[in-house]
Amino acid sequence: MKMNSLGGSKYLLLIVDEASGFMKGFCLRVKSESENYITRYIKMVQAQFGKKVKLV
């Protein structure tokens, strides 16, 4: 039996930076939300460090 979180999420998106080992997790209600979260994360990293993300 599959269960939802208290907030209604069913999935976890985990982004791992292989160079630093930094991990960031996002709770998703549907898998189609993943594209939005990945795009937002890339924009945040680029703004924070002033460098372009080369590989996803």
- Do residues 40 and 34 make contact, with C-beta atoms less than 8 angstroms apart? no
In one letter, which amino acid is 8? G
CB 23 within 8 A of CB 15: yes
- Give pLDDT tens digits for 1-56: 677 788 889 999 999 988 889 999 999 999 999 999 999 999 999 999 999 998 88
User: pTM, whole model, 2 decimals?
Assistant: 0.80
Dihedral sign, Cα of residue 8, residue 26, residue 34, residue 46: positive
d(CA 17, CA 3): 29
